[in-house]
Amino acid sequence: MALTAYNHVPVPSFMYGTAWKKEATTQLVQLAVAAGFTAIDTANQLIHYQEALVGEALLALSEQGIARDRLFLQTKFTPTNGQDHRTPYDASATLTTQVTQSFDSSLAHLHTEYLDSYVLHGPYQRQGLGDADWEVWAAIEGLYQSGKTKMIGISNVTAEQLAQLCTRAAVKPMVVQNRCFAALEWDKEVREICRAYGIIYQGFSLLTANREVFADPGIRAIAQRLGTGLAQVVFRFAMQVGMLPLTGTTNPQHMKDDLQAELLTLTAEDMQVIETIGM
């Protein structure tokens, strides 16, 4: 099953996230693809990601006959405020140049000539969008218009910032990737803007940000009835509300189990339980 954004590019309905995998990144990406994942998320940010090791995995996979065009690759431009001293660009260059350098470096790391999705890792300020955001977004729009990436998006964004971007941008984002908290109605405000504009909402930290959810007897009862795990119930819920979930599990069995979430069906009552669980 695939999701499509307003520009009609199909995106796999589940994504493997590579943050905090360190040296294990290469092996884990290969395991994830072997388990059945076809979408991989990374970032050109050495504090939390090893993008070049994702690329090593892709080389190994291509030798096993898994061609580049069978995979959906998404990476990010991370501003200086999200980097340490190891920036993948000249930190004193203009923001437009930083985006270009970071993008080119990502292509080299990932051994590819194009990206499926390129995402601004987060706005430069907590509220609203400033000059820096607009300059960087214009550079990202340029990459999309040149055909170097099939989709563009933004991460770690508030509803207010996203609404502003959708109103003013020449090219609206096709994806939004946010940490998704049950206590905030699973980021409902941002998801509603995404729905209105035909943007794919990607939810991360669905499990780690919501540990209290797993103690809830309501969700435990659903998992028991379906004969599945709590994680799979959350992932299925995410899919049924129109979200694209990310998982970063390092356990090969969990990778397979998580993909099985696609086969579950939650009832309207189940959905109601989960939607209001953190409230």
On whether residue 245 sits in a domain, the answer given is: no
Give bridge partners of residue 118 from the DSSP assignment: 75, 152
pLDDT at 47 > cutoff 90: yes
Q: pLDDT band for position 16 (50/70/90)?
A: very high
Nearest alpha carbon to residue 103 among 121, 92, 118, 123: 118
Looking at residue 69, which CATH number applies to its domain?
3.20.20.100
Q: Tell me the β-bridge partners of 175.
A: 153, 200
Burial 45-61 (b: 16+ CB within 10 A, else e): bbebbbbbbbbbbbeeb
Asked whether the predicted pLDDT for residue 187 surpasses 80, the reply is yes
The angle subtended at Cα 60 by Cα 59 and Cα 62, nearest 5°, is 65
Domain span at 193: 12-208
**Distance of alpha carbon 264 from its chain centroid, rounded?**
22
β partners of residue 10: 4
225 domain residue, yes or no: no
- Grouping H, G, I as helix, E, B as strand and the rest as coil, residue 245 is strand
Split into its structural domains, the chain has a count of: 1
pLDDT tens by residue, 229-257: 999 999 999 999 999 999 999 999 999 99
Q: Is a pLDDT exceeding 90 seen at residue 164?
A: yes
Q: How does DSSP classify residue 149?
A: B
Give a yes or no: residue 204 inside a domain. Answer: yes
Q: What's the full length of the chain, in residues?
A: 279
- Exposure of 24 by Cβ count < 10 A (0-12 exposed, 13-18 middle, 19+ buried)? middle
- Categorize the per-residue pLDDT at 279 as very low, low, confident or very high, splitting at 50, 70 and 90: confident
251 within domain boundaries: no
Average pLDDT value over all residues in the chain: 97
Structural contact between residues 121 and 177, judged by C-beta atoms closer than 8 angstroms: no
Burial letters 168-182, b for 16+ CB under 10 A, else e: ebeebbbbbbbebbb
Strand (E) positions, 20-136?
39-41, 72-77, 117-120
- pLDDT for 180 equals 96
- Judged against a pLDDT cut of 90, whether residue 75 lies above it is answered with yes
Whether 270 maps to a domain, the answer reads: no
What tokens were used for 251? 């356990």
Is 174 within the bounds of a domain? yes
